[in-house]
Structure 1
Amino acid sequence: MDMRWTIHLPRERASVPMVRRLLMGAMETAGVDPGVAAEIGLALSEACANVVEHAHGTHPDTQFEVRARIIGSRCRIEVSDTGPGFPPERLGTPLHHVAAPGAESGRGLLLIEAMSDHVQLRNHPRKGAVIRFEKSLRWRKDSLLPTA
């Protein structure tokens, strides 16, 4: 099974719970285990909150994009913005070295890493920063999607 969706949202705080609810609803309907869905939802919220908070240099009316894909038993999420992108030194630094204890920033990326199996940060030549994360799915017994 391959299921995909893409959504464009305004870069404002209200977009974060909206996109999380959309994804959580899709995973619940498909039959994803609620614990796994909650972890993916938290990671998505953190990625979107980073866009809203840190995509400096862009007009506040700009949008950001969320792409979600369920491929077999994996979920892949990609959040991209139109800001200036990640500083080059952040791209080469392991995420667990980004936030110092007591730091006011960088913890969102640590949460995304903790809730995911794989995280990738990159800069898109025309779109700014891109956060991609993936997680293996577990399914409820009443799942609508084939799990074998």
Structure 2
Amino acid sequence: MSIWWSLHLRREAASVPLARRLLLGTMETAGVDPDVSYDLSVALSEACANAVEHGGDTTHGACSEAYRVTAYLDGEKCRIEVADSGPGFTAERPAPTPARTSADAEHGRGLFLIQELADHVHIGSEPGRVGAVVSFDKILKWRENAPLIAV
């Protein structure tokens, strides 16, 4: 069983809980273990918050008012991608390396949290496209008698 959806959201803080609730609802309906669903929803929230905060670019003429969230539940894995229309990453401006920050830091923990909650994380840019892409995946665990369990 495969499920996927894609959202184009405005770069506003109010869009973050919308994406999170849609992911949680999809996973609950499919029968994904609640702990796995929670981990992925926190990682998604962090990736969306980064797109809202850093994902605009008016210098390249790109539409800086939106970002895209795509989720794939395919077999035993969930893959999530958050793509923005910001400046992206280049050799001169490389992708940040997720790093642990102090417990009282107000910024800078998002990518580290995503890395800790997901099984695989990629931070980069799509070739030929302006913007950054944060993608991550996680092996799914299923509730007993899950209605859409992968076979």
C-alpha distance after superposition, 1:87-129 (max 9, x if no partner): 64543x6423xx5546553210000001100000011232400
Question: Structure 2: 5+ residue runs without aligned partners?
Answer: none
- Separation (CA, whole Å) in 1 of partners of 2:82 and 2:150: 26
- Identify the residue that residue 110 of structure 2 maps to in structure 1: 108
What TM-score do you get using the length of structure 1 for normalisation? Answer: 0.87
- Identify the residue that residue 39 of structure 1 maps to in structure 2: 39
Give the letter for the 2:88 counterpart: G
Identity between Structure 1 and Structure 2 (%): 48
Would you tell me which structure has more helix in proportion to its own residues? 1
Preserved CA contact (<8 Å) 1:80 1:127 = no
CA RMSD of aligned residues (A): 2.1
C-alpha distance after superposition, 1:6-62 (max 9, x if no partner): 111111000000010001000000000000000000000000000111124348961
Matches within 5 A, 1:1-148: 1-58=1-58, 62-86=65-89, 88=91, 90-91=94-95, 94-96=97-99, 100-101=101-102, 104-124=106-126, 125-148=128-151
Count of residues paired in the alignment = 145
Runs (4+) of structure 1 exceeding 3 A deviation are 58-61, 86-90, 99-105
What TM-score do you get using the length of structure 2 for normalisation? Answer: 0.86
- Separation (CA, whole Å) in 2 of partners of 1:94 and 1:53: 17
Question: Once structures 1 and 2 are overlaid, which stretch shifts more, 55-64 or 105-114?
Answer: 55-64
Give the letter for the 1:13 counterpart: A
